[in-house]
Amino acid sequence: MDVFKDELGTVKGMQASLKLKEEAVPKFLKPRPIPYALRDKVADEIKRLEKQGILEKIKFSEWGAPIVPVMKPDGSVRICGDYKVTINSCLEVPQYPLPKAEDLFSRLNGGKKFSKLDLSQAYQQLLLCENSRNLVTINTHLGLYCYTRLPFGAASSPAIFQEFMDKVLEGLAGVGCILDNLIITGKSDEEHLKNLELVLKRLSEYGLRLKKSKCSLMKSEVEYFAFIVNKDGIQPSPKKVEVMVKVPEPENMKELQSYLGLVNYYRKFIPDMSTVLQPLNELLAKKSKWNWNENCKKSFLKISQLLSSTKVLAHYDPNINVELAVDASPYGLGCVISHKYENGEERPIAYASRTLTSAERNYSQIEREALAIIFGVTRFHQY
């Protein structure tokens, strides 16, 4: 099947366009020094992209961004224009929503097996219209190059590509997509194969290509955006959790902020997470002298324990009633939405929590419980 050909795909019948704000002023920056140890690898990557037609050498541009070389696990180098210092603040970014993993997972109920597809060089399968190309010029030690295809790093690229992929997959059942990652399922092997065949056919019609080494077909479980997905539900990726529980205690505000960002990715799996994190959130909110005290250490340790013992969350089933349970403490609100099955088993779909404001902490317990109900209904209204 041509979608698995080892070549750069080219989308048929569509080109991407970048739109500037009216007050935009061109920005041209000199190239950044490349470490001597990376110079040959960066040059090889530039030449490879030029040979593929992704880059085109030019002599002049009003716009010019330095490049950021990133080492890949295989020792090669990936390059990206540092557009945050040039074009990004000047772009009219399309207000097209990127789907949340939670919304996508809610459509996987009943799936027995799962397939995961990964587009090869994703954005760069989409041609960039002629008058947008000079905007994404990169300034390198080999000279100026402009992208002929939608580049990574441009502020508009994710929204443009997501809107395109939603158009590609419109009307197809059993498939979800976040940017270049697709997940497919069905309530039986026959339905799964039918859904998979239709998706592959649609990708082929648009001229897209898949990275075969990153695709998984008809598996009992797959990893998708750091979650393990199977017929029983979803859970955090054990590999990601292992990394997180091995993170050393933060030593400053920046490290704490980074750690909390990691932990919050899995907050729907942890009951009363806001209460557990309260000492860490209070330390971050103070924005004053660093004081990693005993309460902070206990909170850090407790989160690691909770991450290591998370349960599999059930897939949401619109044909089964949901139950909402809430709780309130002097410091926070917590809730869980669950399915109760005919056999009496109750399984959580998601947890949510938040800390109380200073004013809310003055509420009586019955007022806090009422606030928890409002929070739970609001948080899980989509169910």
Q: How many CB atoms lie within 10 A of CB 117?
A: 25
Q: Is the pLDDT of residue 287 over 90?
A: no
Residue 227 lies in a domain: no
DSSP-based three-state secondary structure for 162: helix
- Which residue's structure tokens are 């470490």? 35
Domain of 314, CATH number, reads 3.10.20.370
Do residue 153 and residue 211 come from a single domain? yes
Average of per-residue pLDDT values in the chain: 90
Domain assignment present for 288: yes
Task: Tell me what the mean pLDDT of segment 190-211 comes to.
Answer: 94
172 and 297 share a domain? Answer: no
CB 91 within 8 A of CB 19: yes
- CATH number for the domain that contains residue 11: 3.10.10.10
Q: How many domains does the chain have?
A: 2
Instruction: Identify which has the larger pLDDT, 61 or 108.
Output: 61
> What's residue 273's pLDDT?
85
Q: Which of 195, 126, 176, 183 is nearest to 156 (CA)?
A: 126
Q: By the 8 A CB rule, do 336 and 351 touch?
A: yes
Q: Looking at 193, 221, 249, which one is the last position of a domain?
A: 221
54/152 same-domain check:
yes
Domain that holds residue 112: 2-221
**Mean pLDDT of the region 298-306:** 90
Give CA separation, 131 vs 134, 137, 377, in Å. Answer: 7, 12, 48
User: Taking a C-beta distance cutoff of 8 angstroms, is the pair 37, 127 a contact?
Assistant: no
pLDDT in tens, 137-187: 999 999 999 999 999 999 999 999 999 999 999 999 999 999 999 999 999
